[in-house]
Amino acid sequence: MKQRLKQVLSVRQKRHIVDPKRISAAVLLPLYYKQGQYYILFIKRTEWVEKHKGEISFPGGVHEERDKTLLDTALRECAEEIDLMPEDVEILGELDDEVSIKTNYVISPFVALIPWPYQLKVDGRETEEIIEAPISKLLNKGYSRQEVRDGKAVTSYFYRYQGRIIWGATARILKKFLDIFTSVIESQ
């Protein structure tokens, strides 16, 4: 599965969004294998963060000058938020850039495989909780609705897991990943 997913991610054309009016950010979509199935790791943001209070998201954040690349941003943020060390992460590929409408970010998502078990811990300042979601519980569990923004019809995605709702840019990134993951499963 790992090699096939890596291959599929490497041959697809990533959609880059270049917009100097938006803030560059990056997230990691951490995958791991546990009890015979793949899981995705999410975090719940604290109520103390400036943006995305209490939301379910992937670990990550805003690009800083000290980051050489957006991948460096995602890895640094993971280390800060959940104590996931960069040397323990295997990058499988990238997904399309995504815009966070609410905060004016352009988010670059990186798909990564992480070892399991792993001693993660929340920082308590930005991250309140770590959420482990089996991919099998997310597949075919999402729903969408059409909305109109700035005169354009757009599709919004939502996923429910353990009484929580994953929505916004995180849900759009998740939808793209699940579509790729499903195609990999079906091709085996």
Q: Residue 136's pLDDT is what?
A: 93
User: If one looks up domain 2-136 in CATH, what number appears?
Assistant: 3.90.79.10
Q: What is the pLDDT of residues 146-177, one digit of tens each?
A: 887 778 888 889 999 998 999 999 999 999 99
Q: What is the pLDDT of residues 110-133, one digit of tens each?
A: 999 999 999 999 998 888 999 999
Q: Residue 53's pLDDT is what?
A: 63
Q: Residue 115's pLDDT is what?
A: 97
Beta bridge partners of 41: 132
- Alpha-carbon span 38 to 152, nearest angstrom: 36
Residue with the bigger pLDDT between 61 and 142: it is: 61
Q: Residue 111's pLDDT is what?
A: 98
- Alpha-carbon span 58 to 41, nearest angstrom: 7
Q: Where are the domains of the chain?
A: 2-136
Q: 3-state SS of the chain?
A: CHHHHHHHHHHCCCCCCCCCCCEEEEEEEEEEEECCEEEEEEEEECCCCCCCCCCEECCEEECCCCCCCHHHHHHHHHHHHHCCCHHHCEEEEECCCEEECCCCEEEEEEEEECCCCCCCCCCCCCEEEEEEEEHHHHCCCEEEEEEEECCEEEEEEEEEECCEEECHHHHHHHHHHHHHHHHHHHCC
Average pLDDT score over residue span 74-95: 97
Please check the confidence at residue 70 and state whether its pLDDT lies above 60.
yes
Q: Residue 149's pLDDT is what?
A: 73
Please check the confidence at residue 54 and state whether its pLDDT lies above 80.
no
Q: What is the pLDDT of residues 22-43, one digit of tens each?
A: 999 999 999 999 999 999 999 9
